Amino acid sequence: MTITSFASPTTLAWDDFTSVTSKIRDPHDGTDQDALTQYEYFLPTRSARKDGAMFTLDESLVLLITPDCKVWTGVSQTAALLSHEQFHYHVGVVIARAAARHLNRLRASTEAELGIALATATKLHFATRNKLI
């Protein structure tokens, strides 16, 4: 087995959005938005395992992606807007796939070093790369 990623749901619906009464600000540039789609990620904590002389992550881990979406109550919830927001969610799904591939390759000589490598990989994919995309 390998570490994998899974999105739930895979396709967004307007029911996945929280309605808000004030305009939504983009967290990156501060502009007003009609809707904002972000995502949460969850990677269960499991003990590291030995792979020869090195420590690695448990290969049965599943990286879960879930939506964190908001829509302004003053906007029409159109199919075009939902499709646009689905694109933003897909970015998170793609980042999770890349992160899972990266996590499969992590090796360290101690569990502490593996923990540091995991934190570094998580920051790279879910903070740095997410913001760039």
Mean pLDDT of 7-16: 97
Q: What pLDDT, on a 0 to 100 scale, did the predictor assign at position 51?
A: 85
Q: What is the pLDDT of residues 37-69, one digit of tens each?
A: 999 999 998 889 998 899 999 989 999 999 999
Highest mean pLDDT among 55-59, 82-86, 128-132 belongs to 82-86
**131's tokens:** 């913001």
Give Cα separations from 55 to 17, 72, 73, 86, 115 (angstroms).
40, 47, 49, 37, 10
Q: Place 27 in a pLDDT band, splitting at 50, 70 and 90.
A: confident
Q: What pLDDT, on a 0 to 100 scale, did the predictor assign at position 45?
A: 85
Q: Quick one: what percent of the chain has pLDDT higher than 70?
A: 99
Residue 85: partners with Cβ closer than 8 Å, 6 or more residues away: 12, 17, 35, 37, 69
Q: What pLDDT, on a 0 to 100 scale, did the predictor assign at position 133?
A: 77
Residue 86: partners with Cβ closer than 8 Å, 6 or more residues away: 11, 12, 37
122, pLDDT greater than 70: yes
Mean pLDDT of 4-31: 95
Q: What are phi and psi of 35, to 5 degrees?
A: -150, 160
Q: What pLDDT, on a 0 to 100 scale, did the predictor assign at position 78?
A: 98
The mean of the pLDDT values for the chain is 94
Closest-CA residue to 7 (of 100, 103, 128, 80): 100
